Amino acid sequence: MNSGILASEHKRELVLKAEAKTSPLYGCSPYDRPIREHIEMGVVNLDKPVGPTSHELTAWVKDILELKKAGHSGSLDPIVTGVLPIMLGKATKTVAALRLSGKEYICLMTLHEAVPERKVLRVCKEFTGPLFQMPPIISAVKRAVRVRNIYYLEVLDVKEKSVLMRVGCEAGTYMRKLCHDIGVALGCGAHMQELRRTKTGPFGEDTLVSLHELKDAYVFLQEDGDESFLRKVIRPMEEGLAHLPKLVIRDSAVDAVCRGAAIAAPGILSLDKNINKGDDICLFTLKGEAVALCTALMDTGEMLENEHGIVATTERVIMDAGTYPQGWRSKPK
């Protein structure tokens, strides 16, 4: 696929199955949470600088915001810059979903010998679709051959031995290895010179914030009680789940899911138009709050047709039990 967009960026459309209202007495819009709750259920789209590791930056963010937990969306080498979403507090439950989303990079590749531009363009065009990759010797994963998808590879400029390209790829793709393999195919050798990540799933460069901006925003809150800046640099965790197919469920079904129950057909109000059996999906309330990460047991058509039966199993609960009232009856003892 060479569409110029990541798999997670394809436009999603909801289909209405049933209508219902939500009670204002329970829950709230992710954008209206009290500031401390907003922090504990938020995400910072950090602009990673050259130098520190992803782990170090995550630790600094945790210290600045006085949190017990924080987790990043996928490691970047110290020399790599760019998009590094960091999930905060309770939002760390969603790290895995974001970590597996597609990535985009701007890469500067250096060829070891000059090659005609038309040959560079022709060979790079061949490096789309599924590719076999062996992780580098120095890497965070076990070294074994694996398949990774390159969604698009666009050569932006070729100047002597320098090649600037934009690459959209599956999570876990090693850009250093991609440059090496392109060099082998060109017959001249090549290596990665510079790299910047420009997208991780739904996060791009348009919402990036620096560590200094985050620190300033927190100081404004502490010293002046001004939370407006902090609400801009910390986004609701739901924005980090926007790339997943969604199910919107009834208020009466929320608490059962929060206690680990699967979601049944009567609990669905609307759903993504293109859900397939086995997909990772996310359940939301009518107010837009994330409830749980699930695995679909039916496709969209089956979910719409069936009035009974389990449509998805709950894999990871996000919302605290008791946020919404119990809508199910316990069996009598």
Reported as a single tens digit per residue, the pLDDT across 141-191 is 565 677 889 999 999 999 999 999 999 999 889 999 999 999 999 999 999
pTM confidence score: 0.90
Reported as a single tens digit per residue, the pLDDT across 194-211 is 999 999 989 999 999 999
3-state secondary structure of 281: strand
Q: Of 136, 171, 200, which residue is a domain's last? A: 200
77 is catalytic: yes
Return the CATH number at 159: 3.30.70.3190
183 and 253 together in one domain = no
- Marked catalytic residue, from 47, 77, 181, 251: 77
Do 88 and 40 contact (CB within 8 A), yes or no?
yes
Q: How many domains does the chain have?
A: 2
Does some domain include residue 69? no
Q: Which residues contact 233 (CB under 8 A, 6 or more apart)?
A: 44, 209, 213, 214, 217
The rounded distance, in Å, linking the Cα atoms of 310 and 330 is 19
Reported as a single tens digit per residue, the pLDDT across 59-95 is 999 999 999 999 998 889 999 999 999 999 999 999 9
Structural domain boundaries, residue 140: 103-200
Does some domain include residue 326? no
Return the CATH number at 269: 2.30.130.10
Does some domain include residue 327? no
- The strand pairing partners of 178, in sequence order, are none
Does some domain include residue 237? no
Does some domain include residue 249? yes
Does some domain include residue 53? no
- The structure tokens listed for 153 are 């590879």
Does some domain include residue 95? no
Do 127 and 151 contact (CB within 8 A), yes or no?
no
Does some domain include residue 219? no
Handedness of CA 105, 110, 112, 113 (dihedral sign): positive
The rounded distance, in Å, linking the Cα atoms of 101 and 254 is 26
161 and 108 together in one domain = yes
Exposure on the CB side of residue 285, measured as CA atoms within 13 A: 26
